[in-house]
């Protein structure tokens, strides 16, 4: 059966997405043949779907791509950001055949291989407008053809969702490991410039870390040891790191209480850098609070203002929670960056201790490289400390 005939047969099965409010969006299956629950978000990136799917921060979510055609470039081994696909599902308008010299596998085949359900043929514009209007919604993705839409919507309403859930423990590494000490992986990824000596010892907490973060730190002369999310501050300090990095990750930062406590115990004892979830954890460790955004920030085109330099950075982002500015003590914590779309906090630093964090992804992948300088800033912070 050719591709068109296969997808025509899938249309006959009546696959659909049911939202908790009862809305139904119909399409056809282009991924794994099993139903799933997830939180429905939209991503405004025009490309980078493979990096999105392999970003552990998307665990628990159905990603709606606003770009109408997804799958054009296929999937390849070089663009993986982790060992596997982590998103709970993918929602697209159209999935054409791959046509790219780097492509090694069709996106639909990769989705099936990783066990990720996906729908094409959706009205993703209408779905995105609904999410912007109503906010993030829980959903049930039906591809097996065994459940009525009303029942699927009921299951979506009854699903616990991501609030109050510790997903970092679900995506972290099982044991500590050293990342690419000799730079072989960085070179195989396409880094042609000479790598500097790895003269700084950095411990990176894995709350859902992306490989390009590790590549970026290696390119800045950091010898990185990645450790599980729940490793105690005392165990980390026993490794005598020059600095500690708190990574990105999924779900609700307030639920990762052990990480907040470890960050609090590390503050002032070793230079710290955090991004995304790590930024939120450091905000909590400094006495702040976090809250859920209406529909989050997901994409690679978010404008961020650096308040000191007045420079605008175009950034890659993926998060549903933010740090409440009114909860931070201005005598201790300085807000360094703000989002120009909604004025939310995008960066903080401690006024007395060597610590800074940003809400966005300086390593991009996918996305612009405007904030790549932050890895240099981490080196300088370590040197000054």
Measured distance CA(261)–CA(23) in Å, rounded: 41
Beta-carbon-side half-sphere exposure of residue 253 (alpha carbons within 13 Å): 32
Q: In the annotation, is 276 catalytic?
A: yes
Q: CA torsion 39→40→43→49, rounded to 10°?
A: 80
Measured distance CA(171)–CA(68) in Å, rounded: 29
Cβ atoms of residues 264 and 234 within 8 Å: no
State the catalytic residue, choosing from 313, 346, 353, 363: 363
Residue 225, both tokens? 């040891």
Measured distance CA(119)–CA(30) in Å, rounded: 6
Cβ atoms of residues 13 and 141 within 8 Å: no
Placement of tokens 């740090």 in the chain: 323
Shortest CA distance to 139 belongs to which of 21, 251, 14? Answer: 21
Greatest extent of the chain over all pairs of C-alpha atoms, in Å = 67
Cβ atoms of residues 334 and 344 within 8 Å: no
State the catalytic residue, choosing from 39, 51, 81, 276: 276
**What contacts 349, CB < 8 A, 6 or more positions away?**
333, 334, 336, 355, 356, 357
Measured distance CA(111)–CA(95) in Å, rounded: 12
Residue 202, both tokens? 């950095």
CA 381 to chain centre: 25
Cβ atoms of residues 88 and 62 within 8 Å: yes
Residue 154: count of CB within 10 angstroms of its CB: 16
| Strand duo 333-339 + 345-350: pairing | antiparallel
The helix-helix angle for 211-219 and 373-384 (nearest 10°) equals 60
Q: Which residues are catalytic?
A: 276, 361, 363
């Amino acid at each position: 059966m050719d591709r068109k005939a296969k997808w025509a047969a899938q249309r006959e099965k009546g696959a659909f997405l049911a939202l908790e409010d009862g809305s139904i969006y119909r399409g056809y299956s282009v991924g794994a043949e099993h139903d799933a629950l997830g939180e429905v978000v939209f991503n405004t990136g025009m490309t980078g779907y493979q990096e999105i799917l392999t970003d552990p921060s998307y665990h628990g979510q159905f990603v709606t791509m606003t770009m109408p055609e997804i799958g054009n470039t296929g999937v390849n081994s070089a663009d993986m950001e982790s060992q596997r696909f982590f998103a709970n599902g993918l929602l697209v308008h159209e999935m054409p055949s791959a046509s790219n010299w780097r492509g090694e596998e069709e996106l639909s085949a990769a989705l099936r291989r990783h066990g990720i359900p996906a729908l094409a043929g959706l009205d993703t514009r209408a779905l995105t407008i609904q999410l912007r209007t109503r906010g993030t919604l829980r959903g049930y993705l039906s591809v097996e053809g065994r459940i009525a839409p009303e029942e699927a919507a009921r299951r979506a309403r009854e699903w616990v969702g991501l609030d109050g859930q510790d997903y970092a423990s679900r995506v972290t590494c099982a044991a500590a490991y050293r990342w690419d000490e000799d730079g072989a992986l960085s070179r195989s990824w396409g880094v042609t410039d000479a790598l500097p000596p790895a003269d700084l010892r950095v411990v990176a907490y894995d709350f859902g870390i992306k490989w390009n973060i590790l590549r970026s730190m290696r390119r800045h002369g950091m010898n990185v040891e990645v450790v599980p999310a729940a490793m105690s501050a005392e165990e980390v300090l026993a490794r005598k790191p020059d600095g500690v990095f708190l990574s990105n990750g999924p779900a609700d930062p307030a639920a990762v209480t052990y990480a907040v406590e470890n960050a609090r115990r590390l503050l002032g004892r070793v230079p710290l850098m955090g991004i995304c979830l790590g930024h939120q954890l450091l905000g909590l460790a400094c006495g702040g609070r976090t809250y859920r955004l209406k529909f989050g920030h997901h994409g690679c085109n978010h404008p961020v203002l650096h308040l000191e330099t007045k420079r605008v950075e175009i950034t890659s982002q993926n998060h549903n929670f933010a740090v409440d500015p009114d909860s931070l003590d201005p005598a201790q914590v300085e807000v360094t960056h703000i989002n120009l779309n909604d004025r939310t906090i995008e960066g903080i630093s401690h006024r007395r201790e060597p610590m800074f964090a940003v809400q966005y992804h300086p390593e991009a992948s996918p996305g612009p490289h405007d904030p790549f300088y932050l890895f240099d800033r981490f080196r300088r912070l370590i040197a000054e400390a």
